[in-house]
Amino acid sequence: MDEDTQKLLADFKTGKIDLAKENALRIRKAIMDLHKGLEKIELSLDGMKATFNKPLTPDEAVEAFKTYVDNISKGKERDKIRIILK
């Protein structure tokens, strides 16, 4: 993303500029470009139940959750993944 667009988004985020007819399309395009290529990964209730099917210590639970997320996101670019609970 070029410097002008980065500044536009930063100024919009901090409230230095308001959404106006003159900049609305540029802001929309920049936001769409940022979201391009993101991949949604859904955590299912069944998957969570299977992962946490027995009593676990906090450390075991964290490790089990990490393993679950690693398994459902295998083969995907980690920087592009966004996780949502289904």
Q: Tens digit of pLDDT per residue, the chain (86 long)?
A: 789 999 999 999 999 999 999 999 999 999 888 888 789 999 999 999 999 999 999 999 999 999 999 999 999 988 889 999 98
> Domain boundaries in the chain?
3-35, 39-85
The reported pLDDT for the residue numbered 52 is 96
Per-residue pLDDT at 86? 84
8, 50 Cβ separation under 8 angstroms? no
CA distances from 83 to 35, 45, 47, 73 (A): 14, 13, 14, 9
Give the position of tokens 């940022």: 34
Does the predicted TM-score (pTM) go above 0.75? Answer: no
Backbone angles phi, psi at 74, to 5 degrees: -55, 135
